Structure 1
């Protein structure tokens, strides 16, 4: 006759569960599920204990997920092993889960765990073809509401990889920003201080916003875009609303904060009488050092007119890097064209001719030309087929649209950008 028995886990048994948890870890095995998950399951799912007198000598906790049952904690005190306690607890759990429609009971165990005899004896098969994968959720539940109030969001993880071409810019951003921010421990070992604020500058339509979103996607951090025009409508005024926005961002563990067209609120100060925007510029200059104090943050400011910024805005100590983002290279133009050409039209299309014809085009220019060619082809198909749409845009349609597109970046603007790279960029 055994001197132990199985019963439902009680609230007074939690000390015993914690003792088993620590014993489990002391043997060099890390439980698959976190202690917080196990404790939560003891309250709302199925949990049994093996007790000898008043002592808890074994605990098994399981939860139901549709027709699948999962054992989230399974432990027997070392001094009480090989007495059938494990098998008895598993049978009790299975019995309690059966009314819930469970058709399969599974358990994940760490590779280091050697005491698996109870599992095999209880009829569990070792599914060696299965592997356990895990990822952390990048934002806490309590942060979600704050993020919504700030107008922020989590971006799809593939944005960074979907930026075609621009390999030089991507390499700089990957090495200078993503690497130290994503692995601060590694950065610390090499004496690297992760960046806190950067400026992206370049001609209009060159993809600065796309890169900012790509960085947030790559880091898996919330993306918050601050719109000065919206803040200006607040009764608190632009400076007051800007200050409050940054204070609220303090409630997030991680964040990529993006201000586009920052020249609107960081204009050169001076002149008589002083510009009404000087107070806003002063406020922003005070906010940046405070923002930089807390890790897990990155401020990205973008501008089309870097020469319009106040000189104090760009100094060392406020911004770690001032990075140029220019017109797309040939590989990037090819990726952009492939993204805007329909699969039907892409078949047999001479993309190289389009890439060559759009040298000096911004991504926005290419998008406009692609959409214009598609619209012309649609109208032609309807007119020529009596309302039955057929065919798609041809190479001539695309080249005609390219020839009729007025480029965003003039030769003079492009030349100024090259000068700014030499005199202002900081990599």
Structure 2
């Protein structure tokens, strides 16, 4: 008689599987499937456990069926029992139970560090050579996606970070201070770095603060939720109540980047006696931020065009980890923006370097306006000239069309605003 037996899993065996899972991890072996997946399949699919004579769980095997293929997603035996044939017996027991589902193939993925693969060989499994395993985690599960949609949030395309051309200094700061600690929390903890929970992005209007917030969410593959104070103001509970309820709903998301744009609308200097309704909103926001910071895997981004107007208590240490300036696009960024708007048919006949130089001091929105203005003017001129003769050079806006449009476009940000921004970097920025 063996000193162990194999039986179907019971509900109260899940703690034993959890213990086996943690034992594997403690021994340096990372299970292929997440613990939540293993426990779910143990409860809903096919699973057996091996128990010692005193009833202790000493092994477990969990499998599930997908179409006509079955997958062993967890297989473990306590260390001192691995040479007793328990592993192969559990595999045979699972195969018997899977027969009712009619799979054509039984498959298993095991960690590269796994040593006792002999159990699979003894159970008739063949190791496939020269195979590579690819995996991608879905950022938001179905139930959470519904909740995210109700908040007006979304998962952004994965390439937004790379789409932000130029702005190397800003991207480097955001990458090192925000993205890396949030994406690699264990590495950050190893070096004593606390992942950021809240930041302020400030700079002149139209410099891309919202774009950067979206790019951060894209880079992390976290849900992106933008909070619009102007929309919340119409709520019957009032702006303060609606703001509190919105953040309570956001708290249900597993990962999230939350943007409050033009935050100066609800966090400006508090003054006046008696207090105004807006002061109540500011007070509510000041209460929300510490509670928000208590939860991991989320980042609050407050963006403002007028950082000098923010309440002093709002910016103090402990509420925001960083106060980061986002300035006008540099030459590389302007080149990337121009290349986005110059039609492919005109690319060879347009001197982008000349456009970059001429548009210094422009915001991305200014460049887009000038580009569209040049394209429209070129189209109208072509229509006035009539149908081009056969064999004529391809049409489209030229360098002169763009330079003329640049010359007639008023820059959004004045030199005075730029000067104030540079002063704010010296006195307010916190990097």
Fold similarity call, TM over 0.5: yes
Name the SS for the 1:110 alignment partner. coil
Choose which of 383, 394, 414 in structure 2 pairs with 1:410: 414
Structure 2 length normalisation: TM-score?
0.80
In 2, Cα distance between equivalents of 1:123 and 1:85: 11
Indicate whether 1:357 and 2:358 are aligned.
yes
Q: Choose the corresponding residue for 1:396, options 396, 400, 420.
A: 400
Distance across 2 between alignment mates of 1:166 and 1:415 = 19
Unaligned runs of 5+ in 1: none
User: How far off is 1:38 after superposition?
Assistant: 4.3
Structure 2 equivalent of residue 244 of structure 1: 245
CA-to-aligned-CA distance 1:275-298 (integer Å, 9 cap, x gap):
442222222223323333333332
Q: Distance in 2 between matches of 1:282 and 1:247?
A: 16
Counterparts of 1:89 and 1:347, CA distance in 2: 69
Report the secondary structure of 2:163's partner residue.
coil
Most deviating of 208-217 and 134-143: 134-143
Deviates more, 1:184-193 or 1:227-236: 184-193
Q: Which residue of 2 aligns with 1:219?
A: 220
- Pairwise mapping of residues 77-88 of structure 1 onto structure 2 (< 5 A)? 78=82, 81=85, 85=89
Deviation at 1:364, TM superposition (A): 0.7
> Structure 1's 117 and 355: CA in aligned 2 closer, same or farther, altered over 3 A?
same
Maintained 8 Å contact 1:187/1:194: yes
Query: Which is worse superposed, 18-27 or 60-69?
Result: 18-27
Alignment TM-score, normalising by the size of structure 1: 0.81
1:299 matched residue in structure 2: 300
Q: Which residue of 1 aligns with 2:339?
A: 338
Confirm or deny that 1:325 pairs with 2:326.
yes
Does the CA contact (< 8 Å) of 2:87 and 2:119 recur in 1?
no
- Corresponding residue for residue 37 of structure 1: 37
The equivalences for 1:46-195 within 5 A come to: 62-66=63-67, 68-73=69-74, 78=82, 81=85, 85=89, 99=102, 102=104, 105-117=106-118, 119=120, 124-139=125-140, 141-195=142-196
CA RMSD of aligned residues (A): 4.0
Inter-partner Cα distance in structure 1 for 2:23 and 2:321:
43
SS of the residue corresponding to residue 314 of structure 1 reads coil
Shift of 1:108: 1.5
**CA contact 2:50–2:86 (8 Å) conserved in 1:** no
Shift of 1:230: 0.3
**Equivalent pair of 1:46/1:96 in contact (CA under 8 Å):** no
Please give the per-residue CA displacement for 1:316-375, whole angstroms capped at 9, x wherever unaligned: 232222211110001111111122223332245322111111111101111112222233
Partners of 1:325 and 1:169 in 2: CA distance: 7
- Pair 48,250 (structure 1): closer, same or farther in 2 beyond 3 Å: closer
Structure 2 residue 279 is the aligned partner of structure 1 residue 278: yes
SS in structure 1 of the partner of residue 133 of structure 2: coil
Of stretches 253-262 and 25-34 in structure 1, the one that deviates more from structure 2 is 25-34
For the residue of structure 2 that corresponds to 1:322, the secondary structure is strand
